Each structure stands twice: as C-alpha cells, then as structure tokens.
Amino acid sequence: MIEIGTALPEKIIYLDRAMLKAYADASGDQNPIHQNEEFALSVGLPNVIAHGMLTMALVGKYVTDWSGGPATVREFGARFIKPVIVPAGEKVDLTINATVIEVNGEGIKLDLVATSAGVKVLGMAKAVVVKR
Amino acid sequence: MLAPDSVGRTFAGADSIQISQSEIDAFAAVIGETDTSIASPTFTIRISLDQFQNILTKPEIGLDWSRLVHGDQKFEIFSQVKAGDNLRCSATIESYRVAAGNEIVSVRSDLHNGDQLVVSSWSTLVVRA
C-alpha cells in the first residue's frame, strides 16, 4: 500500500573520480572542477566535486528503480545546496531516502533526501512518478 | 553582465538535434540503468546545457559561462526521448537578478519533436562574482 508517509528503502551509491569522468563524457559537461584537483582548488573548492546533475541522475535512478523504469518520471527537480566532494582514490557515499508526500490522479509525489558524508547535498528535491 | 533586454525573450537554438542510441547508452551506463529503450529522465540536460551555452554566451546576451555554477534544475517530461528522435530546442530567459555581485539567471529549455513538446526544463544558473 502506497500512501502519504510511505518510506522507500534507503540506498547508498558510491562515487569516485572514474564515475565523474564517465559522466563528463556522457553529459558533455567537461568543466574541470569535476576532474582536475588543482583547478578545483584554484577556484576555492575543497577538492574535485561531482556534477550536481550526476547526483541528480543517480537520485533519478533510485526513483525509477522503485517506480518501474525510466519512463515513469513526470517531474523531477532539485536544488544543488552542497557539493559532493570526491577526493582522488576514494569512494564517497551518496545516501538516498524518499517519502511519499502526495498520491493523486497525476501520480505519486516523492520527497527525496540525498546526503554525502553526512551532509545534505540536494534541497527541495521532489519527483512525480507514475508507478508501474 | 546579461543584456537587460534579453530577459523574458525566447531564443531559438538548434532545430535538429538527432538523438543516437550510443549517447543514450553512455548516459545510462554511468548511473547503472539497463533499460536503454528510452533516455534516462535527466538525459536531456546534455542538450539543454549545451544549447544554453551556445545561446546565452552570444555577445548580444553576454553571459560569462566560465564562472557558472548550476543552482537548481527541474524537468517536466511529457513524452519519452528515444534514439532517432530529432529535437528542436528553444531557450527562454525567465528571470535575472544580481545578488551580492552574483548574477542569477533562470532559463527554461523547451524540447520539441515535430509539433510535440517533449521535455521542458528549468535551470537556475549562477555566475559567481
């Protein structure tokens, strides 16, 4: 039974520099802050950071694994409030949770929470899906 | 600085962006999606950000792409993007403000396949002071 307040199972995905490189190539976003540590530090970042849109794509995968595949998403939005910091040679977590906040004829609305190293990285993250 | 008269205007982008299976596959592979019969929900950011860069950095509009960060993103998906689709993109500058020297631009991308609106997305782009 899916109703307001239903919680989805938590999932942890691990990101590393290789994933950032693969996302840069797949998305076309080659901004060096996502690949080059020296450059990232030079613009005041703590280290190389993940593309906000990579974080969002991974949260999207979490949603569609639950809702029944990539065709089920009607709306999906988020604010990038803190970066996912990806030091060389490390795997960093992206921990995702969701709660159902609305159920109606349009679909199911989810409130999404994504953290990395205990820090909330997305704000106002919501998706509307039609579950299959 | 963004040209003030560009706010509220819609700009035509590329009128024929052909979607290939290999780019759908590459995007899906990064996030571990195995269903590549359609594009992943956020796939079209690949098109929209590229189109925004082409359009917004034109001298008459004047956005500085080199100091850009992505503030937020929203998608409304009306139908699925598939390999072989030919998409047309337009960009509408919905709002613009300057806060503490940062330029904050909200821009909407509309992707059409023929007469059909496939995906609208909204990006807030911040040019850091």
Q: Do the beta carbons of residue B82 and residue B37 sit within 8 Å?
A: yes
Within-domain flag for A62: yes
Residues of A in contact with B50 (CB under 8 A): 28
pLDDT at A131 over 90: yes
Q: Is the ipTM of this complex over 0.90?
A: yes
Task: Name the E strands within A31-88.
Answer: 73-80
Q: Domain for residue A33, yes or no?
A: no
Tokens 């970066």 belong to residue: A83
What domain count does chain B have? Answer: 1
Nearest-angstrom CA–CA distance, A96 and A113: 6
Q: Which pLDDT does position A106 carry in this prediction? A: 87
| Among A54, A69, A77, beta carbon nearest to B75 | A77
Residue at B17: amino acid letter: I
Mean pLDDT across B57-75: 92
Interval A47-58: pLDDT, tens: 999 999 999 999
Tokens for A72?
């089920």
Q: Note whether A51 and A75 are within 8 A (CB).
A: no
Mean predicted lDDT score pLDDT of chain B: 95
The CATH number of whichever domain residue B109 belongs to comes to 3.10.129.10
Into how many domains does chain A fold?
1
pLDDT of B67? 84
Helix (H, G, I), strand (E, B) or coil at B35: coil
pTM over 0.95, yes/no: yes
> Considering the domain boundaries, does residue A81 fall inside one?
yes
Mean pLDDT of B20-31: 98
> A29 lies in a domain?
no
Q: For residue B96, what pLDDT band results from cuts at 50, 70 and 90? A: very high
Domain encompassing residue B52: 4-127
Q: Do A53 and B42 make contact, defined as CB atoms within 8 angstroms? A: yes
Residue A42 lies in a domain: no
Instruction: Give whole-number Cα distances, A21 to A50, A63, B27, in Å.
Output: 10, 23, 12
Chain A contact set for B126 (CB, 8 A): none
Task: Tell whether the model's pLDDT for residue B120 goes beyond 90.
Answer: yes
pLDDT in tens, A74-121: 999 999 999 999 999 999 999 999 999 999 988 999 999 999 999 999
Residue A11 belongs to a domain with what CATH number? 3.10.129.10
Asked if residue A44 is part of any domain, the answer here is no
Chain A with chain B: Cβ pairs closer than 8 A: 90
Q: If you average pLDDT over residues B34-39, what whole number do you get?
A: 98
| Full domain range(s) for residue A85 | 7-15+50-129
Residue A31 lies in a domain: no
In a domain, A88, yes or no: yes
